[in-house]
Structure formats: structure tokens, C-alpha cells
Amino acid sequence: MIPFVSPLAQYQAHRSEIRAAIDRVLDSGWYILGESVSQFEHAFADWTGMPHAVGVGNGTDSLVLALLAAGVGPGDEVITVSHTAVATVSAVATTGATPVLVDVCPQRYTLAPALLEAAYSPRTKAVIAVHLYGQPADLAAIQTFTQRHGLLLIEDCAQAHGARWQGQRVGSVGDLSCFSFYPTKNLGAIGDGGLVACRDPQRFERLQLLRQYGWKQRYISDMHGLNTRLDELQAAILLAKLPCLDADNAARRARAQRYRERLQGLPLQLPPDVADCEAVYHLFVIQLDDRDGLQAALKEAGIQSLVHYPVPVHQQPAYQATQRLPQPLPVTERLARRVLSLPMFPELPLEQVDEVADAIHRFFAA
């Protein structure tokens, strides 16, 4: 069987550093908001290229806190995409703001900047650009729009730790950027974790308060806050794994390159390869007409594959009443019918990439 992802292979690859980090935390007797969280926040901020970072409970909460720190709330609108993990839209709804969902561009599968002007209203407060599948969004054009209207740009980097846009890492371009450390993400914890990075020192202070009951001083809430803390164990594990992230991303790119070589010429569309961007292949996503047929054939051959995502957020029951859709979303709806994610993780043997490619060749030859 060829698995789609393998958090176990990740753990085994970093076993001794992870176990040493866990032991250090256990022996320290300090398990919430201590040295490990603060060291990881500094290390990750440096690595990403943002001045400040706040560790939180998960990626969804990182988006909620970024929006709250930006002052987003009921009556406001936030423009983002429907072609994303539901968490992006769920976070907007959690603040009481209205998600305004626009289509993606067929070149990158990320927010189509040309549609932003038509989605704008006087209530618009922020734009969330999602670097989906590890592919940087078109930040130049999106930033032109946010700057013209004085809006905040939030980057959802949950699938793109370390991806580069014009040489710069994603998450260092917007006003705030959000990360998830769910075990299968490019940087994964052994459980849940997330982080918000930001540029502005006042927003940094707000984020720290929002993370823990609005406390500046213990037991005194200066503002309404949540409880969403990155814990010491996860922070220590992430700190131990961070030095390997560039190598892990390079391993993903090598597997993507192998897929490209082995799949070229077939009647399917390979992932975007955009000039001036370096993708980190959180997922390796192909497009084809008979997606369901290929998925069934791969399953028959013992190869796991997944669809990201089968039902676009704008068609899901939960958001029918809250969302605003300025325009139809034909590219999003077409992608939902055609995308298929192939096995992809840094430890995936190249021979297994070849086996997947061989199975796809057999499918088209049949």
C-alpha cells in the first residue's frame, strides 16, 4: 500500500530530537507558556521574516486571532476564496464578520485579483490570501488592491510554510500571517498547534492578550480574549523540527519534480509552476476529466489519493446564510470536480512516486 501521507514516517525521521525535546519539557515542570513557546516564536518569526509571532492552539484559531487583532467583527466583510480548507471561512464567521467569497485564478488555484474590485464594499475590512497546496498567491496584485482601499492583508500560510514569492518567504508580505502545525502540514506537531506572525508591535501586543483571556496582568482582563495557547510540548517539538523544514520542503519539491517528469504528456493537468515563485508542495494536485475513475483505479492498485476539496465552501450548508457571493465561481466549481491529490510527503520513496506514475499510465492506456 502507498499511503497518501505518513505522520509516522515524519516522527521516525526526527525521532531522537523529538524525544529529547519532550523529555526536556517534562523535566522542566513548566507546561504552559514558558521557554519553549517563546523560543519557538522567536525562531519561527526569524525563519519566516516577520518581526513578531504568537503561538496559538491551532491554525483556525490563528486566523480568528489575526482577524480580531485587526479589529474585524460583526458588520465587517472579509474577502477570501471558497476554494480553500473550510477553516479559512469558518474563522471569518467566528468573528461575526461576513465572508465574501470570490473565485480563484486557473493559473495558481489561488485568489483571482481581477475579481477583488467587484467584491469590494464600504464594509470590507480585510482580505485573506490563501497559499493553497503550497503555491504562493498572486500577492503583488492582491496588495495593490488592499493598499488602494486601506485594507489589511492576511496571509493563510497553513499549507505553505517556507514557500517563496519574489524570493521572500510567504507570511512576510502581508500585515498578519497565519500558520497551522497540524501533524501533516509542512511543519507538523504531534498534535495541534498554530501561530500568528505580524509586523505591527501594537497588534502583536493585542494578539498576546487575545490568546489568553485578554490578560495583560494575570487575572485581570483588559479585553475580551480567548484561551488558545500553543503548549510547551508542541512548541519544543516544533523548535526541534524547524531546522529540518527547508530540507523537508526540498524533499517535497524533488518528489514533485519526479511526478512532473513521469506524468508529462498524459491528458492531465500538472500543478502550477509560476515564475518568481517557489512552491512547497503541501499537496501535489493534478486535474483531469475522469477524476473519480482515476481515483478508483489507484485505490485498486493500493494507492491512496484524496480530493482537496470535493465541495467548495460556498456550497456547504453551514455558510449559505452568512456568506456573500458577489459573482459566480466557475473555476472553483470546476476544480472541485477535477482535482486529485497524489501521495506527497518528504519521506515518500522516489520508487513509490514511480509506482504511482506507472499506475496512472496504466489507467490511461486501458
Ligand X SMILES: *Cc1c(COP(=O)(O)O)cnc(C)c1O
Binding-site ranges for ligand X (CB under 6 A): 58-60, 84-85, 87-88, 130, 156, 158-159, 180, 182, 192, 194
Query: Which of 171/194 has CB closer to ligand X?
Result: 194
CB of 248 to ligand X, least distance (A): 17
The alpha helices in the chain, defined as continuous H runs, are: 7-13, 15-28, 35-48, 59-69, 86-94, 116-119, 139-149, 201-211, 232-241, 245-263, 291-300, 330-338, 350-365
* Phi, then psi, of 281 in degrees rounded to 5: 45, 55
In the complex, least distance from residue 57 CB atom to ligand X, rounded to whole angstroms: 8
Q: Which is nearer to ligand X, 90 or 352 (CB)?
A: 90
- Of 219, 230, 225, 206, residue with least CA distance to 44: 230
User: Out of 185, 216, 241, 299, which one is annotated catalytic?
Assistant: 185
Q: What angle do CA 180, 185, 186 make, to 5 degrees?
A: 110
Closest approach, Cβ 51 to ligand X, in A, equals: 23
Q: What are phi and psi of 258, to 5 degrees?
A: -65, -45
Edge-to-edge strands, sheet with 164-165? 168-169, 164-165, 277-278
Smallest gap, in angstroms, from Cβ of residue 88 to ligand X?
A: 5
The minimum distance between CB 58 and ligand X, in angstroms, equals: 4
Chain residue whose CB lies nearest ligand X: 59
CB of 57 or CB of 346, closer to ligand X: 57
Minimum CB–partner distance for residue 140 and ligand X (Å)? 21
**Beta strand 164-165 with 152-156: parallel, antiparallel or unpaired?**
unpaired
Nearer to ligand X by Cβ, of 13 and 85: the residue is 85
Look up 185 and say whether it is catalytic.
yes
Half-sphere exposure in the Cβ direction for 169 (13 Å, CA):
21
- Which CB sits closer to ligand X, 14 or 308? 308
Contact (Cβ atoms closer than 8 angstroms) between residue 152 and residue 176: yes
Record the cell numbers describing residue 337, joined without a space: 470536480
User: Is 17 in a helix, a strand, or coil?
Assistant: helix
In sequence order, which residues have a C-beta less than 8 Å from that of residue 38 and are 6 or more positions away?
A: none
> How many CB atoms lie under 10 A from the CB of residue 358?
12
d(CA 114, CA 103): 10
Q: For ligand X, which is the closer residue by CB, 121 or 322?
A: 322
Sign (positive/negative) of CA torsion 311, 179, 241, 228?
Answer: negative
Q: Which is nearer to ligand X, 48 or 359 (CB)?
A: 48
Q: How far is the CB of 216 from ligand X (least distance, A)?
A: 26
Query: What cell does 226 get?
Result: 480567548
- CA–CA distance, 274 with 138 (Å, rounded to integer): 10
Residues taking part in catalysis: 185
